[in-house]
Amino acid sequence: MQMSETELLLKGYGLTTAEIFYRLPDYKNVLNTFVWQEYDLAPDHPKLLGFIEFWQDSIEGPLHSVRFTHRKMLASGEWRNMVGEFTYH
């Protein structure tokens, strides 16, 4: 079962965005870019590294470089469990 975005954030995941520069197979002097985005765990980034391994094994365009950023969208101090109900009207 796949977790929701909120569940991932509560488990420490953050949004990782990678800009992948690769060479076209037939034109080695031409660089192209691909943007990849997924919820991942810092500092190891297993999903990003898995995608890079997949790219190297399955896609013909050789990698030139990868630039990425990671943003933790929700910290433990920003969320708290509230029990209660408010009635309006």
pLDDT in tens, 50-88: 999 999 999 999 999 999 999 886 655 656 666 776 666
The C-alpha atoms of residue 60 and residue 36 are separated, in whole angstroms, by 17
> Which run of H or of E encompasses 9?
helix 5-10
| Domain map (residue ranges) of the chain | 5-78
Residue with tokens 């488990």: 11
pLDDT in tens, 13-35: 899 999 999 999 899 899 999 99
Q: What is the pTM of this model?
A: 0.75
pLDDT for the residue numbered 11: 85
